[in-house]
Amino acid sequence: MGERISRTAALGRRLARVSGPVLQRLSWAIAVLAVCEVIYLVHVNRALAADYTLIRAIRSDDLTLTIGQTIEWVVGFDTDGRRALVSFRGSSKSLVFGISSGCPACRASLPAFRRLGALAIAAGCKVVFVSKDYLPDMIHSPMASQLPGTLISEPTYRTYRTLKLNVVPTTMLLSQHGLVEKVVVGQLDESKERQIASDLSR
């Protein structure tokens, strides 16, 4: 019995000698990863704070299109995953919404989107929703199936930069030549919806 205990103790000492350096190196690796994670989080938080400060400092007029500016087209992916280009030049006006499924103001504006979209289509206008979501997120969003008109996914934000859709939701009414006639930024409350509906009826 004593011999068995001695063998077990000897085996334990050998394992300790072998595993000691391994555990030490593993501890160092974990410590380095933890430090890198802290540095990354600090960097990301500072970047987000800087962006937020910048956005707060810029007036909404600087973030959006101006009346009289011309927008010829929008490009992205349709709900079938195909590359799509929608032209705003034609025989009718266009009602364009900049949206994101993760945006609370967009979700709150969904009833207004539906009413204005239906009104615009009835008036013979083109209705286009430009989403900042990646295609799978856009397709599987509950919002997607409830939007009238054409839905375009543009996650690279290239079109968003062109359209200055830095704030969502943004609602734009374009002439048949792609000329910006009206821009409304933010959640569509009753007052904003009435304004857009009035312009659509002209």
Residue 51 has pLDDT above 60, yes or no: no
Q: Are 111 and 118 in contact (CB under 8 A)?
A: no
According to the model, what pLDDT value does residue 73 have?
Answer: 87
According to the model, what pLDDT value does residue 44 have?
Answer: 44
Check residue 98 and give left, alpha or beta (phi > 0: left; psi -120 to 50: alpha).
Answer: beta
pLDDT in tens, 170-202: 999 999 999 999 999 999 999 999 999 999 988
**Mean pLDDT taken over the chain:** 78
According to the model, what pLDDT value does residue 110 have?
Answer: 96
Q: Are 62 and 185 in contact (CB under 8 A)?
A: no
Query: What does the chain look like in DSSP terms, one character per residue?
Result: -HHHHHHHHHHHHHHHHHHHHHHHHHHHHHHHHHHHHHHHHHHHHHHHHHHHHHHHHS-HHHHS--TT-B--EEEEE-TTS-EEEEE-BSSS-EEEEEE-TT-HHHHHTHHHHHHHHHHHHHTT-EEEEEE-S-HHHHHTSTTGGG--SEEEE-TT-HHHHHHT--SSSEEEEE-TBSBEEEEEES---HHHHHHHHHHHT-
Residue 106 has pLDDT above 90, yes or no: yes
More confident site: 92 or 166: 92
pTM (predicted TM-score) = 0.68
